[in-house]
Amino acid sequence: MTPKNMIMKKIVLVLLPFFVLTQTNAQDETDKQTQTKKSYLSLQLGPSLSTGDFARKDIDNDEAGFAKTGLALDLNYIYQFNENVGLAASAFFNINSLAIKKIRELTGVSTLKTDHWQSIGLAVGPAFSYPFSDKVRADLRIMGGIASANSPDVRTNGFLLADEDWVAAALFQTGCGIRVDLGKNAFFASNLDFRYINPRFEITLSSGGQEIRRQQLSTLNLTCGVGVRF
């Protein structure tokens, strides 16, 4: 072995432990930074299935909502206090059209038209998490909050029979979900949530009078989307 090769070998042997230590420290620092990222924010979209009286199509049931499967759009946030407990918040928009063909059939008014039920709101509550692995964890959320709910208007031949109404109401929401890490900051999320609102509408009729109506807006929402961890 030449003197030059001997020198190079000694340099490598001297620098190797330093290189290994540097890489180990860098990995530890990356792991620490990942562990300190406790906030999860995701945008999720999916079908909103009407349930209970909200889905019923019975003209003799005053609480029947005639609601069809609609759309749910959720902005979900979880702050992880520790591995198993956190705080969840959800800002949402729900819209469900009505089974207008069934309503026309039952009323015998073929020119009847109506739009939709809809609600926007905010729910907050505890979140309980279970990590299946470093990449996958399941969540259980129990939340309460407030929503603004909208009843549909009803028209025939361009004539307004019953006007829409917007009212504020309390809401209850519970659900489960799964989060899958996609990389350093990104993750995939999928949730199954039950959302219940029971607003009291004051509907203005074409006669000028008002009709008071309680309507349960209960939906089962299956949403999925992507989010960022920070």
The three-class DSSP label of residue 3 is: helix
- Domains: count for the chain: 2
Low-confidence spans in the chain with pLDDT less than 50? 4, 10-12, 14-15, 18-22, 24-34
pLDDT at 23: 52
Buried b vs exposed e over 13-48: b needs ≥16 C-beta within 10 Å? eeeeeeeeeeeeeeeeeeeeeeeeeeebbbebebeb
Q: What pLDDT was estimated at residue 34?
A: 47
Query: Do 119 and 221 sit in the same domain of this protein?
Result: yes
Q: Tell me, what's the pLDDT at 75?
A: 98
Please enumerate in sequence order all residues whose Cβ is within 8 A of that of 51, keeping only pairs 6 or more positions apart, or say none. Answer: 194, 218, 219, 220
Q: What is the dihedral of CA 90, 68, 171, 174, to 10 degrees?
A: -60
Does 10 share its domain with 68?
A: no
27 and 129 housed in the same domain:
no
Assess whether 105 and 138 both reside in one domain.
Answer: yes
CATH number, domain at 221?
Answer: 2.40.160.20
* The pLDDT value given to residue 197: 98
For residues 30 and 52, membership in a common domain is answered with: no
Strands 136-151 and 116-131: antiparallel
Q: pTM for the whole thing?
A: 0.83
Written as six digits, the tokens of 48 are: 């909103």
* Domain span including residue 117: 38-229
pLDDT at 126: 98
46 shares its domain with 30? no
